[in-house]
């Protein structure tokens, strides 16, 4: 399958004044195909959510795109006029934000929030939009949708609020859905239900999904391909099976080793990656992971590794895995 609906090439995002910018995304490359689920994985501060916000042109006021391109169905979004962009967002591209309690308007009934994009993008009447909103609530498994449509967010459980977010994001049947930590703070049973719902909608709508998470269990459950991010760059990309069976980047290996298992619980021990993700204002030279890396080499603190193919449909940015390095040796 190779039919990209969204392609991000060499995307750079910076904070602060143009005279002294602080680079946050430092050349992100990724793509997602129609009907495919791409997982973005990494610790907090690795650039996952910022990449998604940049793709939607929803960056905070202090941030700006300084280079690269964001192409959706052949249209360049990085420089797209605001009016055209507003016609795209919530219609052809939708996003589920973190923390539905804060993402939903607390003083607006959930039915009105679902109806808003239907009225804006599809031109439905108030009555038709309400009927469609009820259908949406029913489609995401909310019981008694005719009554629940008039609830305020605080009157619903966390799992129900997350379903409302999904109903709102999918109201106009978009082509691409970006889901930022859609199962955070939910218990495992509700998490499984939300992932099942997203998979069903993906199949029903031939929907492309980018799912942002720090949880490899979520990745294993829903993703077709995975991009591992660190320090504002993609450091490994692979099919989900290859990532688990043939993990290459030392950072990816560390993340997988730190994923809780029953054996770890029995041993009362959870392996961890030493150190912490560097702040964007104090990013190390060369490979940004090298201060924490158990396999670092002399070139790691001087030169930035580029993504190289190490297996079919698998690329890694690591001097310890570099084919150029192997040939030189």
Domain map (residue ranges) of the chain? 4-92+174-328, 103-173
Structure token pair of residue 192: 């499984």
Is residue 101 scored above 80 in pLDDT?
A: no
pLDDT, residue 250, reads 96
pLDDT, residue 265, reads 58
**Confidence category of residue 261, pLDDT binned at 50, 70, 90:** low
Q: What is the mean pLDDT of residues 153-160?
A: 91
pLDDT, residue 158, reads 86
Q: What is the mean pLDDT of residues 185-207?
A: 89
**Confidence category of residue 98, pLDDT binned at 50, 70, 90:** confident
For residue 143, the 8-state DSSP code is S
**Confidence category of residue 128, pLDDT binned at 50, 70, 90:** very high
**Confidence category of residue 321, pLDDT binned at 50, 70, 90:** confident
124: left (phi over 0), alpha (psi -120 to 50) or beta: beta
Q: What is the mean pLDDT of residues 181-187?
A: 82
pLDDT, residue 186, reads 78
Residue bearing tokens 């607390």:
106
Is residue 99 scored above 80 in pLDDT?
A: no
Distance CA 272, CA 254 (A): 7
pTM here is: 0.91
CA distances from 94 to 91, 222, 237 (A): 7, 18, 24
pLDDT, residue 327, reads 41
pLDDT, residue 212, reads 96
Q: What is the mean pLDDT of residues 302-322?
A: 93
pLDDT, residue 217, reads 87
Distance CA 184, CA 211 (A): 12
Strand 225-230, strand 63-72: pairing: unpaired
**Confidence category of residue 269, pLDDT binned at 50, 70, 90:** low
Is residue 66 scored above 90 in pLDDT?
A: yes
Is residue 329 scored above 50 in pLDDT?
A: no
Contacts of the segment 275-284: beta carbons below 8 A, 24+ positions apart = 277/43, 277/44, 277/45, 277/46, 277/230, 277/231, 278/45, 278/231, 279/45, 280/15, 280/22, 280/23, 280/24, 280/45, 280/232, 281/22, 283/23, 283/26, 283/231, 283/232, 284/231
* Weakest-pLDDT range from 88-102, 116-130, 253-267: 253-267
pLDDT, residue 326, reads 47
Is residue 115 scored above 90 in pLDDT?
A: yes
DSSP alpha helix (H) spans, the chain: 48-55, 82-88, 100-103, 110-122, 126-139, 145-148, 158-169, 188-205, 216-222, 240-245, 250-257, 262-267, 323-328
Q: Is 248 helix (H, G, I), strand (E, B) or coil?
A: coil
Distance CA 102, CA 106 (A): 8
Distance CA 230, CA 125 (A): 46
pLDDT, residue 325, reads 47
pLDDT, residue 328, reads 40
CA dihedral (303, 306, 309, 310) positive or negative:
positive
**Confidence category of residue 51, pLDDT binned at 50, 70, 90:** very high
pLDDT, residue 19, reads 87
% residues pLDDT > 90 (the chain): 76
For residue 97, the 8-state DSSP code is P
Contacts of 241 (CB under 8 A, 6+ apart): none
Is residue 173 scored above 50 in pLDDT?
A: yes
Homologous superfamily (CATH) of 4-92+174-328 is P-loop containing nucleotide triphosphate hydrolases (3.40.50.300)
Average pLDDT, the chain: 90
């Amino acid at each position: 399958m190779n039919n990209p609906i969204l392609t991000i090439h060499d995307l750079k995002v910076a904070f602060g004044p143009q005279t002294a910018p602080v680079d946050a995304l430092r050349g992100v490359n990724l793509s997602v195909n129609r009907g495919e689920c791409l997982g973005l994985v990494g610790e907090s501060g690795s650039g996952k959510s910022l990449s998604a916000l940049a793709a939607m042109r929803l960056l905070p006021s202090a941030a700006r795109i300084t280079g690269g391109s964001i192409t959706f169905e052949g249209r360049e979004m990085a420089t797209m006029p605001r009016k055209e962009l507003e016609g795209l967002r919530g219609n052809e591209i939708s996003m589920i934000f973190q923390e539905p309690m804060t993402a939903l308007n607390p003083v607006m009934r959930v039915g009105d929030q679902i109806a808003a994009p239907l009225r804006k993008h599809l031109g439905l009447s108030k009555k038709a939009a309400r009927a469609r909103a009820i259908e949406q609530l029913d489609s995401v498994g909310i019981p008694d949708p005719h009554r629940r449509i008039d609830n305020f967010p605080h009157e619903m459980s966390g799992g129900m609020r997350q379903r409302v977010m999904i109903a709102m994001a999918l109201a106009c049947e978009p082509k691409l859905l970006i889901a930022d930590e859609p199962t955070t703070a939910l218990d495992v049973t509700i998490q499984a239900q939300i992932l099942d719902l997203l998979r069903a909608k993906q199949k029903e709508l031939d929907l492309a999904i980018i799912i942002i998470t720090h949880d490899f269990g979520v990745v294993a459950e829903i993703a077709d391909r995975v991009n591992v991010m660190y320090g504002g760059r993609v450091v490994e990309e692979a099919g989900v099976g290859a990532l688990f069976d043939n993990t290459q980047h030392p950072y990816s290996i560390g993340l997988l080793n730190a994923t809780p298992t029953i054996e770890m619980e029995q041993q009362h021990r959870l392996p961890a990656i030493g150190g912490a993700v560097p702040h964007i204002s104090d990013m190390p030279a060369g490979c940004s992971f090298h201060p924490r890396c158990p396999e670092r080499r002399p070139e790691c603190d001087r030169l930035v590794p580029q993504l190289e193919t190490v297996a079919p449909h698998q690329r890694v940015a690591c001097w310890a895995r570099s084919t150029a390095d192997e040939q030189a040796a």
